[in-house]
Structure 1
Amino acid sequence: MPPATESAYSLTRDRVETYFDRTATQTWERLTSHEKVSRIRETVRKGRDRMRALMLSRLPQDLRGARVLDAGCGTGAMATELAQRGARVTAVDISPQLIDIARRRLHPALHDQVDFQTGDMSDPALGRFDFALAMDSLIYYRDADIGRVIGNLSDRTAQSIVFTVAPRTPLLMAMWHAGKLFPRSDRSPTMIPHDAARLARHCPGQLTRIGRITSGFYISEALEHRP
């Protein structure tokens, strides 16, 4: 990755880490729990549950013997479901706070199947996988940066990568231009809408649209990449 591009990617990554570690940890912990939340956040919770189910539907029900990367694992819901299917899961997130929550929530019977790590999802040191999933963890990056991350993962993923982006809809584009997709500050990340066809030009291999989930304020599109 060229120095200027690496600098832009790193800056966004650092903003995401700061946001989830210092600003939104408690909000995110509650949103991903079973605690009562506001109506708006309940729609987001339901949307995320539906998206996770959609992404998991692209993988075999029986994952015994498979290595799966949960890239941007957050509080660990995806990692738990993968482990329940028998997968050996590497669950990585740039936020140490979210990793701590995920470790606490994982059922003791699944501890041997999930390796939680703090760091960059594209780090080659994480190893090789059969599948990789990245749910809502690439939504803050430009298309070129997403293409490089997918290309990096593709070199180490045997079968498929399933990930999500914010779709380039008129509503999201209007909100994006108005600066309202995320709280604005020097350290807050901004979600970037993407067009799947344009994004495909930055991703080596075959990129397929899987489906879009809309639930109140939650709008996300799942894509599948194969070599």
Structure 2
Amino acid sequence: MQCLNQKPFTATRPAAASRRVAVRVHASTRQPEAVKIAAGAAALSLATTSAAQATEIFSSANGLDGSLTFAVGGGVAIAGLGALLVATDPQKRRSQQMAQTGGDEKEAVKTYFNTAGFERWQKIYGETSEVNKVQLDIRQGHAQTVEKVLRWVDEEGSLAGVTVCDAGCGTGSLAIPLALRGASVSASDISAAMAGEAEKRFQQALASSGGKAPKVAPKFEAMDLESIQGKYHTVTCLDVMIHYPQDKVDGMISHLASLSDNRLIISFAPKTLAYSILKRIGELFPGPSKATRAYLHREEDVEAALQRAGFKVTKREMTATSFYFSRLLEAVRV
């Protein structure tokens, strides 16, 4: 791969601000793990970070792979970063990726999470120490999102007998604690490998907890979201929409809403200018592991889709770690 902008590119704000950002990108045959993971599975953002935290974000990425170096001297210099992005053509790469799966976005996600993606994410969503700093950060961010959902449902009282559909269950990080709380859980994932791992982890959690099995054992099935049927009190869908563009997300929300009698809980990667630019930086580093696209979504677009489906947002949370950013919404039927 050719080197892009080997000399540092410096953009300077007005003198009063006395802030600058220097960006040096050296693209090598090795792929920066920090960029691969963050761009493919979590929304990258500096919208709410301080200068110190921004520096930590980029120095962490640099520490994982010497092919990427960022020096941030306070804030986010959008203009300086924007000039760098002209050198890449991510749209062409997306087209090539889509061609490999016959233009089917869903098939690309399914293939990824049944192969290389499964190996990576079952470690991130597990307890193994065989993760790097970025993967650990994403694990902690996802866990925080799950804890927020559990707090919301606990505030409603006992879950005994409450029917829950967890769409895109992954390895069961949300479905399992809901089942252990007494909910009647129907969990599914587009990846058979993920659904199988979730079933295995439920049995392990049950054995290690020493508690009795729930009255209704959770079901873990390999199924794409649009194929889910039934009626449930609560429908959840965490960290799934990042893999799909807005038009697909609109359809997903409509279908999820048709399954819920009462409540929807969803998360997505929020779209801001800073998030979008850092996502583009990640796209400077193509590779075979980047088998899915990362899509950011405007909160107003997601909320509009919920309203069209007859739901009103009643709770909002934001999870922001160094490499994991997720907006969480609870909506109830009106």
Residue 169 (1) aligns with residue 272 (2)? yes
- 1:6 is aligned to none
Q: How far off its partner does 1:187 sit?
A: 7.6
Taking the aligned partners of 1:26 and 1:216, their CA distance within structure 2 comes to 22
Residue 116 (1) aligns with residue 235 (2)? no
Residue 194 (1) aligns with residue 297 (2)? yes
- Counterpart mapping for 1:61-76 below 5 A: 61-76=157-172
Q: How far off its partner does 1:65 sit?
A: 1.3
Q: 1:183 to 1:174 in 2, by over 3 A?
A: same
Higher strand share: 1
Name structure 2 gaps, 5 residues minimum: 1-102, 207-212
- 2:83 is aligned to none
Q: How far off its partner does 1:110 sit?
A: 4.9
Structure 1: which amino acid aligns with 2:188?
Answer: V
- 2:249 is aligned to 146
Q: How far off its partner does 1:202 sit?
A: 2.8
Q: How far off its partner does 1:160 sit?
A: 0.9
1:54 to 148, 155, 163: 148
- 1:39 is aligned to 133
Question: In the alignment, is the contact (CA less than 8 A) between 1:70 and 1:79 conserved in 2?
Answer: yes
Question: In the alignment, is the contact (CA less than 8 A) between 1:181 and 1:191 conserved in 2?
Answer: no
Say how many residue pairs are matched. 218
Taking the aligned partners of 2:282 and 2:314, their CA distance within structure 1 comes to 29
2:317 to 187, 211, 221: 211
Q: How far off its partner does 1:184 sit?
A: 5.4
- 1:4 is aligned to none
- 2:200 is aligned to 104
Q: How far off its partner does 1:135 sit?
A: 0.7
Further displaced range: 40-49 or 101-110: 101-110
Taking the aligned partners of 1:144 and 1:182, their CA distance within structure 2 comes to 26
Taking the aligned partners of 2:289 and 2:173, their CA distance within structure 1 comes to 30
Further displaced range: 109-118 or 79-88: 109-118
Q: How far off its partner does 1:103 sit?
A: 1.2
1:133 to 236, 241, 244: 236
Q: How far off its partner does 1:13 sit?
A: 1.4
Q: How far off its partner does 1:156 sit?
A: 2.2
Q: How far off its partner does 1:18 sit?
A: 0.8
1:130-151 Cα distance to aligned partner (Å, 9 max, x none):
0011110111222222222111
- 1:7 is aligned to none
From the CA coordinates, give the structure whose radius of gyration is larger.
2
Q: How far off its partner does 1:118 sit?
A: 0.7
Structure 2: which amino acid aligns with 1:55?
Answer: V
1:59-95 Cα distance to aligned partner (Å, 9 max, x none):
2341111110111001112111101111010010010
TM-score (ref. length: structure 2): 0.60
- CA RMSD in angstroms, aligned pairs only: 2.4
Name structure 1 gaps, 5 residues minimum: 1-9
TM-score (ref. length: structure 1): 0.86
